[in-house]
Copies of this chain bind each other. A is one copy, B any other.
Amino acid sequence: MTTDQPADAAAPRGPLAMIVGSGDYPLQLARIVTDKGERPYIAALDGAADPAAFGDGADIRTYRLGQLGSLLEELHRRGIVDIVMLGALPRPSFGSLRPEVSTLKYMPHFAKAFLGGDDHLLRGVVRFFEMQGFRVHGPAEIAPEMTAPRGALGRRQASAEQRAELERGFALLATLSPFDVGQAAILADHRVVAIEAAEGTDAMIRRVADLVARGRLKIGKGDGFLVKVPKTGQDLRVDMPAIGPDTLRNIAEAGLSGIGVRAGEVLVGDRAALGRQADELGLFVEGFA
């Protein structure tokens, strides 16, 4: 394969490489792909992914970020065009990459991407792989069963009144989208009590819990909701909003009653497990079209 040659986007998908960081999502994705009879090549990012967790049969190798050149060579050698990236990666310092010689030529591209925010960096990574002739797939495309379905994950559903509050939350987030902010918000006491910006969803939930603990905010029974959606223009291939067990635990601890997300556009990982946890915590977790 020659570089700077975009792959044919319409061509059927071939063998898959997974470039993975930390967390459960990469493990779930590998399991789903394997269960469907594929054997993905897994590039575990050093310091983030745990290769042992993928099991003995996995076709896996650990790469430092500075070994990008080796990774590309291996993918080319195997004729792999289709890749998916998933999992958390601590933002590395530019100096700590220790690039191997074959990686040095790619550094200027990333140096530029590093100067912007996280979104900018992620877009830079996608563009880089596309320029090298790869097709970058989103996890939702490879495994739609990892995203929120339409409807409730557990037994509880939002009531009509709760649903109206959630819709107000979705409308708020849609309004914020042109400002490239507002992936999540919390509504309680019939008003917007928190909007997420740079701090992240978990920090926002903790802030609300803290306001409640200090008597600054009262949340009645059945009141208080997290809404979470992608921002318009967010690249769902590498930057998909997600909720998981920690989100549910934090929501319950803050005294909130449920979570509303955009169906198909928010990662939930293991739907059944999250539904069981929602039931145990007395929460609703529901996807809306």
Q: Which of A196-210 contact B (CB under 8 A)?
A: 197-199, 203, 207-208
Asked if A181 is at the interface (CB within 8 A of a chain B CB), the reply is yes
CB of A64, distance to nearest CB on chain B (Å): 21
Task: Please report the C-alpha to C-alpha distance between residue A194 and residue B194 in the assembled complex, in whole angstroms.
Answer: 10
Q: Which of A166-208 contact B (CB under 8 A)?
A: 168, 171-172, 175-176, 178-182, 185-186, 189-195, 197-199, 203, 207-208
Q: Mark each residue of chain A from 260 to 289: 1 if its CB lies under 8 Å from any CB of chain B, else 0.
A: 000000000000000000000000000000
Q: Contact at B207–A199, with CB atoms within 8 Å? A: yes
Select from chain B the residue with minimum beta-carbon distance to A190. B117
Select from chain B the residue with minimum beta-carbon distance to A181. B192
Q: Contact at B211–A198, with CB atoms within 8 Å? A: yes
Asked if A216 is at the interface (CB within 8 A of a chain B CB), the reply is yes
Asked if A217 is at the interface (CB within 8 A of a chain B CB), the reply is yes
Task: Please report the C-alpha to C-alpha distance between residue A117 and residue B211 in the assembled complex, in whole angstroms.
Answer: 14
Select from chain B the residue with minimum beta-carbon distance to A175. B175
Find chain B residues with CB under 8 A from A211 CB: 198-199
Find chain B residues with CB under 8 A from A195 CB: 176, 181-182, 195, 197
Find chain B residues with CB under 8 A from A171 CB: 179
Find chain B residues with CB under 8 A from A182 CB: 195
Copies, count:
2
Number of interface residues of A (CB under 8 A): 29
Q: Contact at B192–A197, with CB atoms within 8 Å? A: yes
Task: Please report the C-alpha to C-alpha distance between residue A198 and residue B171 in the assembled complex, in whole angstroms.
Answer: 19
Find chain B residues with CB under 8 A from A189 CB: 117
Q: Contact at A198–B179, with CB atoms within 8 Å? A: no
Task: Please report the C-alpha to C-alpha distance between residue A112 and residue B175 in the assembled complex, in whole angstroms.
Answer: 32
CB of A53, distance to nearest CB on chain B (Å): 27
Q: Pick the contact of A181 from B117, B191, B207 — CB < 8 Å?
A: B191
Select from chain B the residue with minimum beta-carbon distance to A93. B215
Q: Pick the contact of A198 from B172, B180, B181, B217 — CB < 8 Å?
A: B217
CB of A43, distance to nearest CB on chain B (Å): 27
Task: Please report the C-alpha to C-alpha distance between residue A211 and residue B197 in the assembled complex, in whole angstroms.
Answer: 11
CB of A66, distance to nearest CB on chain B (Å): 21
Find chain B residues with CB under 8 A from A216 CB: 198-199
If the complex has contacts A199-B211, A211-B199, are A172 and B168 also in contact, measured as CB distance less than 8 A?
no
Given A168-B179, A186-B197, A193-B198, 4 extra CB contacts under 8 A: A117-B189, A172-B181, A179-B192, A180-B191
Instruction: Please name 19 pairs of A and B residues whose Cβ atoms are closer than 8 Å in the assembled complex, sorted by A.
Output: A172-B176, A172-B179, A175-B176, A175-B178, A176-B176, A176-B195, A179-B192, A180-B191, A180-B192, A181-B191, A181-B192, A181-B195, A191-B198, A193-B197, A194-B197, A194-B198, A198-B208, A199-B216, A207-B207
